[in-house]
Amino acid sequence: MKIAPCLLAIAVLVPTSATLSSFAFGQTDTMSTVLQKLTARIQKLENSCGDDIKKFCSGVTPGGGHVLYCLEAYEDKISPKCAFELDEAELDLQEIGDGLKEAFHLCQGDIAKLCGDTQPGGGRISACLASKRASVSQSCVEAIEKMQVK
């Protein structure tokens, strides 16, 4: 189980991809979908692993993936229900992370070409890409739409 590194990677990628997903032509649905999936997955983990967290990780300071690292350290002792949910979470997070990376990779050229002079932050790149929608590559559009379907 390598879920903690996945969560940390997602934490880094989600803010980066917020620019891309919110650009999805006025559709903030992509980021909303990703955040809903992450929230639901975390809730499932809390429900399935609550007793194990109390038993093995009660002294661990939450945040930064510490509780997940703790659960991984006790993976041979946690309940089957918790172990299953950790494995499922890892698969889901990997899929989400892969989608975010793909969208970033496929849209990077559009950002550079169409909005290279735009200062990042505050939704300015999103607004730039949205204003140049007709020029955005089909691969970028498809990568963003693909994230919404998953």
Residue 148's contacts (CB-CB under 8 Å, 6 or more residues apart) are: 24, 27, 29, 30, 33
Q: Which of 125, 132, 101, 96 is nearest to 17 (CA)?
A: 101
CA distances from 2 to 23, 84, 86, 133, 146 (A): 31, 13, 9, 38, 25
- The tokens describing 14, both together, are 């989600």
Q: How far apart are CA 6 and CA 17, in angstroms?
A: 16
Q: What was the pLDDT predicted at 112?
A: 93
Q: Dihedral of the CA atoms 19, 25, 29, 32 (nearest 10)?
A: 10
pLDDT tens digits for 55-83?
Answer: 999 999 988 888 888 998 999 999 999 99
Q: What was the pLDDT predicted at 147?
A: 73
- The tokens describing 135, both together, are 């020029």
Q: Which of 97, 94, 110 is nearest to 24 (CA)?
A: 110
pLDDT higher at 56 or 38: 56
Question: If pLDDT is split at 50, 70 and 90, which confidence band does 95 have?
Answer: confident
Question: If pLDDT is split at 50, 70 and 90, which confidence band does 3 have?
Answer: low
**What integer best gives the mean pLDDT of the chain?**
78
User: Stretch 108-127: mean pLDDT, rounded?
Assistant: 84
pLDDT of 53 higher than 80: yes
Share of the chain above pLDDT 90, in %: 28
Share of the chain above pLDDT 70, in %: 75
For residue 5, give the 3-state DSSP assignment: helix
Contact 64, 105 (CB under 8 A): no
For residue 78, give the 3-state DSSP assignment: coil
User: Stretch 37-49: mean pLDDT, rounded?
Assistant: 88
Question: If pLDDT is split at 50, 70 and 90, which confidence band does 2 have?
Answer: low
